[in-house]
Structure 1
Amino acid sequence: MTETDPVKVMKQQVGKAAADLVKSGNIVGLGTGSTAAFMIQFLGERMQAGTLTDIKGIPTSFQASVLAKKYGIPLTTLDEVDRIDVAIDGADEVDPQKNLIKGGGAAHTREKIVDGLAEQFVVVVDSSKLVDSLGAFPLPVEVVPMAIAPVMRALEELGGNPEIRMGVKKDGPVITDQGNMILDAKFAAIANPADLEKTINNIPGVLDNGLFVDLADIILIGEIKDSQPSVREM
């Protein structure tokens, strides 16, 4: 059956464009989310076709690990490799300076580790994720459960409006792959992402937050023009 949903086709095309950047022998950081899922699928298809060989993936989440196994991508860990050649991941917001907000999938802590270690970090998004300044998307903050109340107070003092992220089709809060909780903090605007990232990460009990500053190298953007999906690079 031919795919007719233009948004899905757009995500597929930007995922394929990113997968095409991977070279044989690469260690690849495997991102999390719907667009990254297509990238993982296309990496598997390239391996099956024989156009890509001897790659290993480092997943950023349980979801990425499951998809990699489904599509036949061998996995490794940071203990076993001394480099990551390229990491490919999505984002919830992208500003003109290539700063990001990530964490809509509650995987931003592992994503920042993998993406930050990569020689090249490629971001795959659709055009709806582009913003003039970060902050419309609530900032995810991963917190050790015992510190939820004091961290919420600290975020409020910084001008944020934090809420505990609750599960969908599940009673209670979202629990990360590390066994922690997520606060989504709404800020009116984030004028200085670099300063806010460091300030929040210095709050006792915070593992990491979803601000990714000066990490992205390439932004691949899926768009729909004249009812046709296309991909461009920022």
Structure 2
Amino acid sequence: METSSLAKDKEKHLAAIKAVTYIQNGQVIGLGSGSTANYAIREIGKLVQNGLQIKAIPTSKKTQELAESLYIPIIDSNSVDYIDVTIDGADEFNDEMVLIKGGGGALLREKIVASMTRKKIIVADSSKPVAQLGLVFKLPIEVIPFACNYVMNQVRELGGTSSLRQKEDKTFVTDQGNWILDADFGHIQDPKSLSHSLNGIVGLVCHGLFIDLADIIIVGKGNTVETILFETS
């Protein structure tokens, strides 16, 4: 019997294999960050070695390092007006396809790349769909260090609590030189309202609520995959 970790890895891999079938020759591809996105990047690397011609924009330094090791051509985000397809992961998502992202700290670049993308694909294992956002995974918030305490106070005014993310007993620093707050709002019943309120806080650079930034979610479930399509009202 497979362990939970091995089963999740298998689901991530199956979702990634399905996701890369949406990529076409000559496209610009956004490369997500995190363990699930890494499976997709490795699959893209195989396609490139077999002759697929694409250009890619990474969402983090770690992603860029992995892509370059697989000989995936990297371009600057400022060299294009849009991205054809992006494949990225999520920390959790609800049945309205609202995502929480930022567990790896790359949420700012991830949100920029997603906003530039025409077809946004999320890959996930079966633990990521949730009935209620915010109960399992805290909401990452990227802040300018100078504004950290102010933003924490503003989060408190909105009914949440937050803590400064640490890594190896040091303050975690993003690729952009910012800090991350992990905010607990309990069950996020109205993501759009919370997103609007957070966007109005001076010094808050980006938050991990991704709304209307997923067109397709591919979930590995055991030995199969489920594809969820965004339906516009």
Matching residue's letter, 1:202: G
Give the structure 2 partner of residue 8 of structure 1: 9
Paired residues, number = 223
Native 8 Å contact 2:139 2:207 kept in 1: yes
* Post-superposition offset of 1:187: 1.0
Matching residue's letter, 2:173: I
1:121 is paired with a residue whose SS is strand
Q: Where do 1:60-209 residues align within 5 Å?
A: 60-136=59-135, 137-167=137-167, 170-209=168-207
* Post-superposition offset of 1:194: 1.1
CA distance in 2, matches of 1:187, 1:106: 19
* Post-superposition offset of 1:135: 0.9
* Post-superposition offset of 1:19: 1.4
Using the aligned pairs only, state the percent identity. Answer: 44
* Post-superposition offset of 1:99: 0.5
Q: Where do 1:27-38 residues align within 5 Å?
A: 27-38=28-39
Structure 1 stretches (4+) deviating beyond 4 angstroms?
A: none
User: TM-score of the superposition, structure 2-length normalised?
Assistant: 0.93
Give the structure 2 partner of residue 17 of structure 1: 18
CA distance in 2, matches of 1:132, 1:171: 33
Give the structure 1 partner of residue 27 of structure 2: 26
CA distance in 2, matches of 1:216, 1:108: 14
* Post-superposition offset of 1:33: 0.5
User: TM-score of the superposition, structure 1-length normalised?
Assistant: 0.92
* Post-superposition offset of 1:148: 0.8
CA distance in 1, matches of 2:44, 2:187: 37
Native 8 Å contact 2:88 2:121 kept in 1: yes
2:162 is paired with a residue whose SS is strand
CA distance in 1, matches of 2:139, 2:8: 25
CA distance in 1, matches of 2:147, 2:209: 20
